[in-house]
């Protein structure tokens, strides 16, 4: 059987993508490791289909959403956040998918929040991340990853929270003060 050049290239490009996409169970197991064990079983998980697109791979009954590591990314990266942050997070993903980059993503989102088009949480909302390192599916553990923990408090400032607006050792501090993306940064060694 002979294939044309286009068909051969399509098969050659599609095969590695499908081979690189981990099984759904493995994506779920890795994604939820970013947050405390008591929240994992009920989390909704967004992961990657064989076509490389981000889709819901598990509907949870809890209030947390986790993102599996992108198989096309150079480094391991999973995050879990409170579902009240989903409109903001989803809008960021949509903007990046449409080609918007860097600070422009936040410029658009911040404007949409100010214009009342993009809702933000009414209460503090947590985000947990693991990045770098590697996931061992056989052991269901991540090694060598760095952890990041934040609590989003839209529009908070140092004055409204009593937190510093710049990092100082291992003390918590507020990043992006006064913006929709304001959040308390925590050093995981705390």
> Within a domain: residue 104?
yes
pLDDT recorded at residue 190: 46
Q: Residue 64: which domain range?
A: 5-74+83-119
One pLDDT digit (tens) per residue for the chain, 190 residues: 343 433 333 334 444 444 478 999 999 999 999 999 999 999 999 999 999 999 999 999 999 999 999 999 989 999 999 999 999 999 999 999 999 999 999 999 999 999 999 999 999 999 999 999 889 989 999 999 999 999 999 999 999 999 999 999 989 999 999 999 999 999 776 4
Cβ burial, residue 115 (10 Å; 0-12/13-18/19+): exposed
Determine the 3-state secondary structure of 104 from DSSP.
helix
pLDDT recorded at residue 8: 37
pLDDT recorded at residue 78: 97
Q: Are strands 141-143 and 173-175 parallel, antiparallel or unpaired?
A: unpaired
Is there a contact between 80 and 31 (Cβ–Cβ < 8 Å)?
yes
What's the angle, vertex CA 136, arms to CA 45 and CA 21, rounded to 5? 50
pLDDT recorded at residue 25: 95
pLDDT recorded at residue 188: 77
> Within a domain: residue 89?
yes
Domain tally for the chain?
A: 1
């Amino acid at each position: 059987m002979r294939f044309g050049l286009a068909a051969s290239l399509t098969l050659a490009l599609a095969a590695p993508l499908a081979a690189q996409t981990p099984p759904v169970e493995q994506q779920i197991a890795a994604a939820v490791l970013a947050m405390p064990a008591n929240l994992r079983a009920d989390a909704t998980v967004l992961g990657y289909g064989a076509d490389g697109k981000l889709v819901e791979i598990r509907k949870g009954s809890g209030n947390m959403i986790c993102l599996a590591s992108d198989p096309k990314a150079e480094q391991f990266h999973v995050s879990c956040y409170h579902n009240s942050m989903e409109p903001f997070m989803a809008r960021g993903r949509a903007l990046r998918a449409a080609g918007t980059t860097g600070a422009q993503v936040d410029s658009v989102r911040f404007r949409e929040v100010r214009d009342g088009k993009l809702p933000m949480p009414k209460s503090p909302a947590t985000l947990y991340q693991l990045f770098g390192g590697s996931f061992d599916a056989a052991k269901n553990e991540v090694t060598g990853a760095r952890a990041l923990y934040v609590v989003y408090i839209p529009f908070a400032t140092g004055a409204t929270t009593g937190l510093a607006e710049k990092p100082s050792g291992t003390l918590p501090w507020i990043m992006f003060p006064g913006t929709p993306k304001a959040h308390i940064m925590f050093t995981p060694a705390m």
